């Protein structure tokens, strides 16, 4: 008997690497999903099943879960990976974009958990892995709504872990640091779009902050050296799914571990001072 693993957001980066890694395990049947199934059609070559799943569409999520349950009785493991970062000053990001950020990163994740839990409880077992970020522990300017979504995932996962443990369901959180994916380009594009929507544009009160952000993201060098690979995160997911006693948290990359520890040691004022120097 194989375990059915449902993974969201597999068109690129961490999600794709996770499919490729898990599909090599004969005891797992991997379901790769994305908003457009055709964008991940090639993942069928790994042995994965390909499904359409949009985490902002409840009907799409329900259909995907029903497909897996029809073939396996229950979703054996859920990997909530779909997400993105909305960047811009708090004052300037439009409400519709804030709602989309939360809908994608938090509400969709939570609803998928609701959909798979009844089957897992009936089976008396299951694993849920939520991909968060070091951004759920440390914060940087212009990422308020991304950080808010990841802080929410942290709290949600902590509560979920204790609620479902009596039913034989294990829950883990993955906290990656900087990873070599398209996330940097997402930061740049959302920041640019939100700047364009603001009449002040590049000459507004946050212009210097935006310029510093662009330099940090696009300068390469130190940022590139700090970055881990998508497969580093996929390995952590594999461990969370297959360990007899999975950890509550897996922090991925030495840089992420160092930043989280630094934030804890410095306290609020110390961290604020450090970030101010970084963005000066």
pTM of the full structure: 0.92
Tokens 């922090």 belong to residue: 251
Domain span holding position 239:
3-278
Q: What is the CATH number of the domain that holds 66?
A: 3.40.50.720
- Catalytic residues, by residue number, are 11, 132, 146, 150
How many Cβ atoms from other residues are within 10 Å of residue 267's Cβ? 9
Tens of each residue's pLDDT in the chain, 280 residues: 799 999 999 999 999 999 999 999 999 999 999 999 999 999 999 999 999 999 999 999 999 999 999 999 999 999 999 999 999 999 999 999 999 999 999 999 999 999 999 999 999 999 999 999 999 999 999 999 999 999 999 999 999 999 999 999 999 999 999 998 765 565 656 666 776 555 555 678 999 998 888 888 776 555 666 789 999 999 999 999 999 999 999 999 999 999 999 999 999 999 999 999 988 8
SS3 of the chain: the string is CCEEEEECCCCCHHHHHHHHHHCCCCCEEEEEEECCHHHHHHHHHHCCEEEECCCCCHHHHHHHHHHHHHHHCCCCEEEECCCCCCCCCCCCCCHHHHHHHHHHHHHHHHHHHHHHHHHHHHHCCEEEEEECCHHHCCCCCCCHHHHHHHHHHHHHHHHHHHHHHHHCEEEEEEEECCECCCHHHHHHHHHHHHHHHCCCHHHCCCHHHHHHHHHHHHCCCHHHHHCECHHHHHHHHHHHHHCCCCCCEEEECHHHHHHHHHHHHHHHHHHHHHHHHHCC
Domains of the chain: total: 1
pLDDT at residue number 216:
80
β-bridge partners, 129: 79, 172
pLDDT at residue number 182:
62
Closest-CA residue to 80 (of 159, 9, 186): 9
Tell how far CA 164 is from the center of its chain. Answer: 21
Contacts of 28 (CB under 8 A, 6+ apart): 2, 3, 4, 5, 22, 77, 241
């Amino acid at each position: 008997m194989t375990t059915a693993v449902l993974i969201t957001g597999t068109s690129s980066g961490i999600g794709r690497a996770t499919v490729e890694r898990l599909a090599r395990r004969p005891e797992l049947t991997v379901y790769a999903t994305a908003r457009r199934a055709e964008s991940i059609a090639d993942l069928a070559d790994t042995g994965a099943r390909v499904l359409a799943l949009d985490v902002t569409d409840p009907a799409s999520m329900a259909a995907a879960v029903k497909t897996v349950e029809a073939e396996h009785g229950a979703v054996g493991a859920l990997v909530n990976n779909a997400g993105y970062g909305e960047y811009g000053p708090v004052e300037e990001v439009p409400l519709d974009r804030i709602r989309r950020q939360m809908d994608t990163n938090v509400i969709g994740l939570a609803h998928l958990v609701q959909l798979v839990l009844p089957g897992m409880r009936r089976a008396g077992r299951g694993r849920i892995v939520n991909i968060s970020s070091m951004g759920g522990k440390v914060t940087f300017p212009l990422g308020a709504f991304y950080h808010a979504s990841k802080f929410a995932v942290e709290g949600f996962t902590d509560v979920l872990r204790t609620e479902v443990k009596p039913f034989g369901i294990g829950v883990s959180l993955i906290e990656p640091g900087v990873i070599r994916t398209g996330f940097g380009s997402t930061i740049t594009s959302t920041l640019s779009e939100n700047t364009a929507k603001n009449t002040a544009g590049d000459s507004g009160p946050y212009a210097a902050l935006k310029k510093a952000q662009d330099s940090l993201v696009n300068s390469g060098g130190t940022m590139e050296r700090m970055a881990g690979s998508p497969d580093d995160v996929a390995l952590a997911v594999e461990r969370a799914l297959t360990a007899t006693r999975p950890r509550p948290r897996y922090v991925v990359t030495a840089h992420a571990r160092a930043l989280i520890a630094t934030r804890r040691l410095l306290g609020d004022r110390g961290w604020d001072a450090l970030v101010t120097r970084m963005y000066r």
